[in-house]
């Protein structure tokens, strides 16, 4: 996650930019986190320039009702992206699966851009729990066609999340020209 990119993109006031950086650079105690991402795996299989499979798996524990509500969005679907598989399990604090969610259970909402409704859709996961902590384990597959726009590897969405393990894998044919940029962050909490 490039902090300067987000600061410049949001066009923050310099004082807010400073506070934003301080929030990211100094980790909180474990009890201050509202969710813990135990593992997050993003795997991209490039079959050709117009055929890409994206696999995402995660296991997350939530300690806050607010964070549970914030994590409702599963994926963005448009004419280039199609959800091929989705399965999730909601797990209580005793480790018992209390609910299984399939693709048909996802909530589909139209996406609007500057007041105009577009063909794109947002798929959301109806998460709820009567007690905390609660965990969710999910896996999904997205088929992407006619576009080489790869998803960002961003396991952390909020500053009050802790990531224990995350992996990012790209598989491509040997003759496929592929290049990417990397950035190393020394902060273990990001």
pLDDT in tens, 64-108: 776 666 656 667 777 778 889 999 998 988 889 988 989 888 887
Structural contact between residues 63 and 35, judged by C-beta atoms closer than 8 angstroms:
yes
Please return the burial class of 139, using the count of CB atoms within 10 Å of its CB with bins 0-12, 13-18 and 19+: middle
The residue written with tokens 């679907």 in the block is 77
> Which of residues 125 and 116 earns the better pLDDT score?
125
Q: Which residues contact 89 (CB under 8 A, 6 or more apart)?
A: 97, 99, 100, 101, 136, 137, 138
pLDDT of residue 55: 93
The 10s digit of each residue's pLDDT in 131-190 is 788 888 999 998 988 766 677 777 777 777 888 898 888 888 877 776 666 665 555 544
The residue written with tokens 């299984």 in the block is 100
The alpha carbon dihedral of 49, 53, 59, 63 has a sign of: positive
Could you tell me whether strands 35-48 and 166-171 are parallel, antiparallel, or unpaired per DSSP bridges? parallel
> Which of residues 183 and 59 earns the better pLDDT score?
59
Distance of alpha carbon 109 from its chain centroid, rounded? 18
Q: Would you place residue 8 in the very low, low, confident or very high pLDDT band (cuts 50, 70, 90)?
A: very low
Which runs of E-coded beta strand occur in the chain? 35-48, 51-62, 73-77, 81-91, 97-102, 107-113, 116-124, 134-145, 161-163, 166-171
pLDDT of residue 112: 65
Q: Would you place residue 120 in the very low, low, confident or very high pLDDT band (cuts 50, 70, 90)?
A: confident
Q: For each of the domains in the chain, give its residue range(s) and CATH number, in order of start.
A: 1-27 (no CATH), 33-171 (2.60.40.3140)
> Which of residues 13 and 160 earns the better pLDDT score?
160
């Amino acid at each position: 996650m490039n902090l300067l990119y987000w600061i410049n993109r949001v066009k923050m006031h310099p004082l807010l930019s400073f506070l934003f950086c301080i929030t990211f650079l100094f980790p909180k105690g474990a009890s201050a986190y509202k969710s813990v991402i135990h593992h997050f795996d993003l795997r991209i299989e490039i079959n050709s320039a117009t055929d890409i499979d994206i696999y995402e798996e995660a296991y997350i524990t939530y300690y806050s009702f607010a964070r549970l509500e914030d994590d409702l969005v599963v994926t963005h679907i448009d004419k280039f992206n199609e959800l091929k598989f989705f399965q999730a399990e909601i797990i209580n604090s005793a480790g018992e699966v209390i609910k299984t969610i399939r693709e048909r259970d996802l909530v589909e909402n139209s996406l609007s851009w500057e007041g105009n409704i577009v063909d794109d859709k947002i798929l959301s996961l109806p998460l709820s729990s009567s007690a905390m902590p609660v965990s969710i384990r999910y896996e999904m597959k997205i088929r992407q066609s006619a576009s080489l726009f790869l998803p960002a590897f961003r396991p952390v969405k909020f500053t009050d999340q802790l990531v224990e393990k995350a992996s990012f894998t790209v598989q491509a044919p040997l003759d496929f020209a592929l290049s990417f940029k990397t950035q190393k962050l020394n902060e273990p909490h990001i």
